Structures are given as structure tokens and as C-alpha cells.
Amino acid sequence: MLFDLQGKRKRLVQVVYLTLAVLMGGGLVLFGIGGEVSGGLVDAFTGSGGGGGDSLVEKRVEDNKKKVAANPKDEAALRELIRDNYQLATADANEQTGKIGKEGRKDLQQAADAWIRYTAVQKKPDDGSARFAVLVFGPNGLGRADRAAGAAEVLADARPSAQTYLQLSACASLATQTRKAELAGDKALTLAKGKEEKAQVSALVGQAKNQATAQQLCGQG
């Protein structure tokens, strides 16, 4: 089975299929409408789908806000605020487009603020928080390509792979950081393994210069 693949190759194949779904106009497949499996490809890639702003998450957010108010350098609390506020925001996402609504954007801003405060006290941010930050600032989030590129760079440095550098290339392209996009694309190709994978990465690096494709690659979780 295709999705029985493990590790880096699995992530790369997920990116390839996500991009192909977008390029072929596969909205029904991409968002799980009319299919047999609830959630679609987006949920498969991000681990989302269902749930959302439940009371336990909201309580944890309030508790961590108090912790940060008492100690602005509480890294654990800041990391949880990034994650939990993003989770709350996704409860307000449009099922068709993935775009987050007005109320959810307030939670996104809270997550963004927590990331900025976290990176101010931790010069080597953890890759899990960086992954959420890419989504927070990405095309389906606050639309801050410059911030998304910064978070994607943290993630790529922490977990170097063809997939993470491909994402960095796309985010940097959206932020018009042309040189960074080129270097990240080259690195993605270097990290790709095998002839087939290198061909896939090469094609995606080229497609990432297109804004619509770059948005999809930058915004995947």
C-alpha cells in the first residue's frame, strides 16, 4: 500500500499527492467530499479532522496564559500555547477551503504571539513548535509568508529532509526571498534519495515557483 511507506519517503509521497490533487483540481478528493474516508487528504497530512476547540484545550490555554504572565520565559507554557491556540483555530476552518474564519484568526494571532515570544527566549526552537508556526503563518493561516519561511527554516534545520526543504523553498518563494528559495530547493534535491524521488523533488521545486503550488506546499503540515 502506498501509505504504508515509512519516514522521509512517506512524507515526500504525501507532498507529491497533495500537489497533484491541487494541480488536477481534485477538490473533492483533497477535502474528503464524496469519498469513503472522512477527512480527505488534508486531514491525512495534518493529522486534523474532527474535534477542535474542546474545553480541555481551552482550559489548558487559560492555565498557560497565567503561567506566562507569571513567568514570561516559561518555554513549556509558550510551546503549548502555540500548539493549543492553533488547534482551537482549526475548529473555525472552512471545510471546503481550509481557510480559518474570523474567530479562529484570533486564536491564530495568539499562537503567533506565543511563537514570537518563544523564539525570543529560545534561540534553538523545537521542531514541533516550528511545524505549528509554519501552519499559523502560512497561506491558510495568517498569510505571513515571511514568518512562515522563518519557521520553515527552523524546521528544516532541525529535521533536514527533502520534504522540509521543499516546504522552506515554497514558503520563501511566497515571501519573495528568491535566493533562499533557490538554496532550499537545491538542498531538497540533494537530500532526495533515489532516481524516482529526485525526479519528483525536481518537478516540485520547479512547480513551487508558481504561487498556487507554493501556497499548497508551504501550507502543508
The predicted model gives 160-180 an average pLDDT of 96
Q: Which of 13-27, 87-101, 168-182 has the highest mean pLDDT?
A: 168-182
Cell output for 152: 520553515
Query: Which pLDDT belongs to residue 221?
Result: 66
The predicted model gives 58-87 an average pLDDT of 97
The predicted model gives 116-123 an average pLDDT of 96
End-to-end CA distance of the chain: 22
pLDDT tier, 181 (very low <50, low <70, confident <90, very high otherwise): very high
3-state SS class at 48:
coil
Cell output for 120: 525570543
CA–CA distance, 107 with 100 (Å, rounded to integer) = 10
Left (φ > 0), alpha (ψ -120 to 50) or beta: where does 32 sit?
left
Cα-based angle 156, 197, 165 (whole degrees, multiple of 5): 15
Tell me: pLDDT of 167 over 50: yes
Model-level pTM?
A: 0.75
- Name the residue among 179, 113, 178, 122 with its Cα closest to residue 147: 113
Q: Residues 17-32: pLDDT tens digits?
A: 444 444 434 333 333 3
Query: Which pLDDT belongs to residue 99?
Result: 82
Cell output for 156: 528544516
- Name the residue among 122, 180, 121, 123 with its Cα closest to residue 146: 180
**Which has the minimum average pLDDT: 22-36, 73-87, 148-162, 201-215?**
22-36
pLDDT tier, 98 (very low <50, low <70, confident <90, very high otherwise): confident
Domains of the chain, residue spans: 52-123, 125-220
Crossing angle of the two packed helices 211-219 and 127-137, in degrees rounded to 10: 140
What are φ and ψ of residue 107, in 5° steps?
Answer: -65, -40
CA 207 → CA 41, 101, 220, distances in Å? 20, 28, 15
pLDDT tier, 156 (very low <50, low <70, confident <90, very high otherwise): very high
- Name the residue among 56, 65, 110 with its Cα closest to residue 85: 110
